[in-house]
Structure 1
Amino acid sequence: MSFDSKQIRNVVLLGHSGVGKTTLAEAMLFEAGEISRRGSVEEGNTVSDYTDLEHERGGSLFASLEHVSWKDSKINLIDTPGLDDFIGEVVSALRVATTAVLVHNARSGVEVGAELLWEYIETFDTPAIFVINQVDHEKADYDATLEQAIARFGNKVMPFQYPLNPGLGFNSIIDALRMVMYYFPDGGGKPEKHPIPAAEKARAEDMHRIIVEAAAENDENLMERYFEEGTLSEEELAQGLRIAIAQRQIIPVFCTSANRDMGSGRVMGFINDVCPAPVDRMPLPLTNGKTLTCSSNLPTTVFIYKTISEPRVGLLSYFKVCSGVLKAGDELTNYSNRTTERFGQLFIANGKDRVAVTELHAGDLGVTVKLKNTHTNNTLNGKGADHEIVPISFPEPRVTVAVDQANKNDMEKLMKALHTIHEEDPTASVELSASLKQTLLHGQGQLHLDLIKNRVEQAQGVVMNFVKPRISYRETITKSANAQYRHKKQTGGAGQFGEVHMRIDPYFEGMPDPADLSVRHREVEDLPWGGKLAFYWCVVGGSIDNKYSSAIKKGIMAKMEEGPLTGSHCQDIRVCVYDGKMHPVDSNDMAFMLASTHAFKDAFRDAAPQIMEPLVDLEILCPEEVMGDIMSDLQTRRAMVLGMDSDGHYQKILARAPQAELYLYSSTLRSISQGRAKFHQTFAEYQAVPADIQQKLIEAHKHEEVEA
């Protein structure tokens, strides 16, 4: 069956880990008749969590697309992981959703995961509803959870329901929108409609009045009708609420016991009746500054929001039809690389199960297979369209490890596997660092990296180990020094001869020329790794021919690329070549290059060399009660606290710390704060390392050279 754009609802289920999103999705599928039996996370047989890894871990690791037909609508559901390590799955799902259902746990209240997710909901300006789940738990406290939600997310949070008897005996929901009590049988499922008990009438009527006023505020006609009649009809109420939710003026709150299938049907009914369709949302932004309206009457444009590689199937592309009607067999052009892709088959999905369809209208979500040159964030266009949807901005990496494969012959297979994972998950990236001589893997957290390791080893059969990444130190000098070196080599035929005399100084902008040397020409070069090299040619009398200056500079650069102390890059040095000797037959570029390399190395060691380490600025957001522990931990990392401030419900700590002290800091911070803190880091500057650490670094480098 094909659904028109106005009949489509794209819903993303969000929440802290363990609040019951997957169980709620299962109940929704069951209520709509998409499945005949509800699975459970414990038994590993839910529609959402269908991968072996999710079965092993007992929770969601990937966003899963499902759908239900409810009344006259198609509701696409995207169940997302609750762990912050997999925030990329959440971001891509939010990008294509028209409504966010943020699930809370009645026994735990509003947890930090919900607060972090709310920031993304606001970033995408997505209409939202709250569901307070597990109201049947023995420690459930619906009222306390609601109060926390209002305190943390504002007065826009508006209860539409409340459980009559939360806890182990829960079986009834008071619905203030429809002014009815839903009474559920012991096993859950379809409830009976009862009048609201007299003892609850006043509370329900007060809630209903607030809901009606919120609906009437958005339309002058509705406001007049409300003043005249004192109420609104069900249709008028839905009309006003639809506007209020679409404009994010209210956040309705519902309650459920997903595990016992109580309340999920009412949530779906509200999504069907009130929540916005794709055509009701703002047009999509394009990279050229224009926008694209969601309409089936326009040429076809499709956006790829997720790709995965599935065994025996290959690449699966999850997409949103942004405009037009996509039909099986259509050929579309990838805006990024101008290649043509044929959508040979179109599917709608329920987890791993896919059903072929002939067409999908604007706003709908679908899946296709075997697109050859198309990846996440790509836009494809049919005839008459040439758009590029603004790509998803994924969170930057928060943790980095170096990859060390046990078998060097597996390097090619390993890199291929890592690049495939990056195609599927843009929050994971691989980098071949020439300066560190390591392969670096960047991700969102230790669990994220462990999952990647597991996937690579299972898919490719290679062993991949994580080691601490090297630090990109810099080497420089703090005083002047002179050195000379003669390179002489005789092997029977033409020999090699070159002698170089040089002086090196710390370089700074605007420094005067040396008073005792005659500068013939100077070059100040910006080095690829930062800092500068000032090369002065001060040779007089022809002791060294000018033609060898380039070779001498090349020899200096060779040593600056691998510094004398730790093999790190050198920077901010002035080199004055002022004398030397050459031979009319045996001198050549190679001889002078080698001579200058050795002379620079000798002078460097006599110029009070200094190792510089990278410092990063940290911005840490955390609850006030864990600030002390975080500050104490920072002190052990040679960090300097720059300031503290408040940011909404969080406290903000600004600090500057050596990068060398922050290996796996994400995991430590999560442990200290029980997952309630987050941080952002940016490079700040290079600064001299303490003398004791410098000596340790030099000794470690010597040891590495001996082993090599």
Structure 2
Amino acid sequence: MKVYQTKDIKNIAIIGNSGSGKTTLAEAMLFESGLIKRRGTVENGNTVSDYFPVEKEYGYSVFPTVFSIEWKDKMMNFIDCPGSDDFIGGVITSLNVTDTALMVIHAVNGIEVGTINQFHYTEDLNKPVVFVINQMDNEKADYDNTLAGMKEMWGNKVIPIQYPIGSGNSFVGIVDVLKQKMYKWKTDATAPDVMDIPDSEKNKADELYKTLLEAAAENDEGLMEKYFEQGTLSEEEMREGIQKGLIDRSIFPVFCVSSSKNMGVHRVMNFLSAVAPSPDQMPAPKNTEGKEVKPDPNAPASLFVFKTTVEPHIGEISYFKVMSGTIKEGDDLTNANRGSKERLAQIFSVAGQIRTKVEEMQAGNIGAAVKLKDVRTGDTLNAKGADNRFDFIKYPEPRYRRAIKPLNEANAEKLNEALTRMHEEDPTWISEISKELKQTIVSGQGEFHLKTLKWRLENNDKIEVEFLEPKIPYRETITKAARADYRHKKQSGGAGQFGEVHLIVEPYTEGMPIPEVYKFNGQEYKVQTRDVQEIKLEWGGKLVFVNSIVGGSIDARFMPAILKGIMSRMEQGPLTGSYARDVRVIVYDGKMHPVDSNEISFMLAGRNAFSIAFKNAGPKILEPIYDVTVSVPSEYMGDVISDLQTRRAMIMGMESDKHFERIKAKVPLKEMSSYSTSLSSLTGGRASFTMKFSGYELVPSDIQEKLLKEYEAGEKEE
């Protein structure tokens, strides 16, 4: 394989809703390029893209698949992305390392919620978009209705390059207004006949050509002048204008194909090779220091590893993008994230499991290396003279949580190792061993996402696991001031134990002053502040510890022990064993013994005094609340709002986005346990949602009573 210059490289992410035919389109492209001699099908499980066992088992894409093809003296690196919203991480990764999005739209279903969600990511990342209306051979295909929906959604930026002749069984040709030609297929022919546009289509084609011509001219002052002078542009000039329109997102070209019958695919590939921008035509990414790193082949080399996988008989494969410089076989690089040294023994251009050895890759290209020693997804590798580190991929918050445990406890360590490795392959699979909940929690984008993780653990790693309902990370706090004292006394021959602590607890808010006098049961307690410690708790909130001891009733050397005792109770709250937060503790008096007092005595006295005071201070349980945004077709909005209200949601607002409504709500985490499944069931899979931690709020009193009883019952069982 020859060495391709940066200007001749095209990096393209194939995105679109699940079922739109992306993998079939990828297969047709590979066939057209000659890299495969026979096209596989998703149904038969023999496509280049979906080659992992779990993808063959379920019949849908789980991971983004890189496939690189040589076409018209260009290197075209495609990434076939999963369509399901559960696997959105693959789409986000791919859009970040490519320069163009090829958005595939189902000719029957039109714009779906996955289409809109993925398009939003192209907006966020400012990526050019080329639309392909696929499955024109479907008997229910409706090009006109689909195009109308696209124009309603994205306006006049949606510009047809082609329109079909017929649909379903009568889909026999395409009128290409840019080429000013008609492509017509015979039943048994793979290549179409190319002919002039017939008179019957001339008016429609001319009208669309004029729209395309004006859109192309608008993006360049020189082209606009030429258009006004001559009334037209050459095909080359139109390509130049369309490319500029693509880059600034003022043009979204539309093509139509039947990928299963390989109709129109060749033309789409020709367009992409000629018009899709190369890496050096797009804004340069920035490293972690905010410095632009241009894809200059003459600069010191930097690689960004955007994906790692483990394949049988090969081991770990690292997929990378050359961010700058030129890499060669045998190059020695430094891992900027870990400080370790790596040697690129071999470099490959890949197409699924097909790997083609290359000697050199220039900036902008995408490739793979095998058996690197210590490389993880997201790492940057630098050659001598380069000092970059990249961290530009941002993933959405998890939406579905489950506790996981091995059926055989002997596999616990093996399970944790597998979960760590799987996070490397898909960063939206997140696992955490929670000290607080005493569970291993796995989080993902939805039920199918975690179902896929479970399948891989059981079939690839041979670890039988079960999912359990995850515990909720409640918090405990107080709502009023209270005081308590506790004497710890123990005598058992020889030196004994003695410590007595008097303290006041009260709810704490940032910046609140310390009163000089507290009153409990008609008695006043004066406070003289000697020392204040503000402890920022790792689980959120604060503990403020005030030393108000006067007259030496407790020696200063015992104060750290009292604080330690209080902290131990903050870590296991008196109500339900959950973390406590936002409490101020004032130690104002106590007693000690010249012989028997020691640190353990005051730690226990402080712990117990705090526990008594806490329970008398109007204790409340707090629950985690999440900001939830649901995107739903208008016809399902009432059902979705009703369902949210049964989940104790507080509806914060609604806004319209064409045919979709966006509902914003605050919902307790407890009520979101199976929301992705319920929402899919309510809307036939046509809605999606995001959730992000908002804060903690008091649980209703009836739920608090229930939680207290459950905790007490659990304590008795233990």
- Shared fold by TM > 0.5? yes
Match of 1:53 in 2: 54
Once the two structures are TM-superposed, the CA of residue 230 in structure 1 deviates from its matched residue by 3.0
Distance in 2 (CA, whole Å) between partners of 1:276 and 1:571 is 53
Contact 1:518 1:538 in 2 (8 A): no
Residues 653-690 of structure 1: CA deviation (Å, up to 9, x unaligned): 22222222222323323333333333333333433222
Match of 2:567 in 1: 557
Q: Taking every aligned residue pair, what percent have the same amino acid on both sides?
A: 49
Distance in 2 (CA, whole Å) between partners of 1:328 and 1:396 is 38
Residues 253-301 of structure 1: CA deviation (Å, up to 9, x unaligned): 1111111111101111111222222232222323333322223233322
Aligned residue for 2:299, secondary structure, equals coil
Aligned residue for 1:697, secondary structure, equals helix
Residues 340-368 of structure 1: CA deviation (Å, up to 9, x unaligned): 21111111111111111111222221111
Residues 428-477 of structure 1: CA deviation (Å, up to 9, x unaligned): 22223233232222211111112122222334322322222222222233
Contact 1:334 1:341 in 2 (8 A): yes
Distance in 2 (CA, whole Å) between partners of 1:609 and 1:237 is 71
Residues 194-232 of structure 1: CA deviation (Å, up to 9, x unaligned): 232221111011111222222233334433443344332
Distance in 2 (CA, whole Å) between partners of 1:98 and 1:227 is 32
Distance in 2 (CA, whole Å) between partners of 1:197 and 1:83 is 41
Does 1:523 pair with 2:526? no
1:365-384 equivalence runs, <5 A: 365-384=366-385
Aligned residue for 1:168, secondary structure, equals helix
2:517 pairs, out of 511, 514, 518, with 514
Residues 616-674 of structure 1: CA deviation (Å, up to 9, x unaligned): 33233333222211210111111222222335654332222222222232332333333
Does 1:340 pair with 2:341? yes
Distance in 1 (CA, whole Å) between partners of 2:695 and 2:6 is 52
Distance change in 2, residues 1:679/1:510 (3 Å): farther
1:672 pairs, out of 657, 672, 682, with 682
Distance in 1 (CA, whole Å) between partners of 2:658 and 2:559 is 61
Distance change in 2, residues 1:271/1:707 (3 Å): same
AA of the residue aligned to 1:510 = P
Aligned residue for 1:475, secondary structure, equals strand
Greater mean alpha carbon deviation, residues 414-423 or residues 591-600: 591-600
Distance change in 2, residues 1:38/1:511 (3 Å): same
Does 1:178 pair with 2:179? yes
Distance in 1 (CA, whole Å) between partners of 2:508 and 2:247 is 60
Residues 524-570 of structure 1: CA deviation (Å, up to 9, x unaligned): 53341334444455556655444433323322222222111101122
AA of the residue aligned to 1:661 = E
1:65-464 equivalence runs, <5 A: 65-464=66-465
Distance change in 2, residues 1:493/1:444 (3 Å): same
Does 1:629 pair with 2:639? yes
1:639 pairs, out of 631, 649, 655, with 649
Aligned residue for 2:168, secondary structure, equals coil
Once the two structures are TM-superposed, the CA of residue 129 in structure 1 deviates from its matched residue by 1.0
Aligned residue for 1:162, secondary structure, equals strand
Greater mean alpha carbon deviation, residues 170-179 or residues 424-433: 424-433
Aligned residue for 2:638, secondary structure, equals helix
Aligned residue for 1:415, secondary structure, equals helix
Match of 2:670 in 1: 660
1:533-612 equivalence runs, <5 A: 533-537=543-547, 544-612=554-622
AA of the residue aligned to 1:530 = G
- Compute the RMSD of aligned alpha carbons: 2.3
Residues 139-193 of structure 1: CA deviation (Å, up to 9, x unaligned): 1111101111111122111111111111212111111111211111214521111
Once the two structures are TM-superposed, the CA of residue 15 in structure 1 deviates from its matched residue by 0.8
Once the two structures are TM-superposed, the CA of residue 522 in structure 1 deviates from its matched residue by 4.6
Contact 2:305 2:377 in 1 (8 A): yes
Aligned residue for 2:666, secondary structure, equals strand
Calculate the TM-score normalised by the size of structure 1: 0.95
Once the two structures are TM-superposed, the CA of residue 482 in structure 1 deviates from its matched residue by 4.2
Distance in 1 (CA, whole Å) between partners of 2:543 and 2:213 is 72
AA of the residue aligned to 1:200 = E
Match of 1:617 in 2: 627
Contact 1:524 1:532 in 2 (8 A): no
AA of the residue aligned to 1:558 = S
Contact 1:378 1:391 in 2 (8 A): no
Distance change in 2, residues 1:592/1:323 (3 Å): closer
Distance in 1 (CA, whole Å) between partners of 2:397 and 2:581 is 28
AA of the residue aligned to 1:701 = Y
Aligned residue for 1:154, secondary structure, equals helix
Distance in 2 (CA, whole Å) between partners of 1:575 and 1:293 is 56
Greater mean alpha carbon deviation, residues 353-362 or residues 581-590: 581-590
Distance change in 2, residues 1:157/1:97 (3 Å): same
Contact 1:377 1:391 in 2 (8 A): no
Once the two structures are TM-superposed, the CA of residue 481 in structure 1 deviates from its matched residue by 4.0
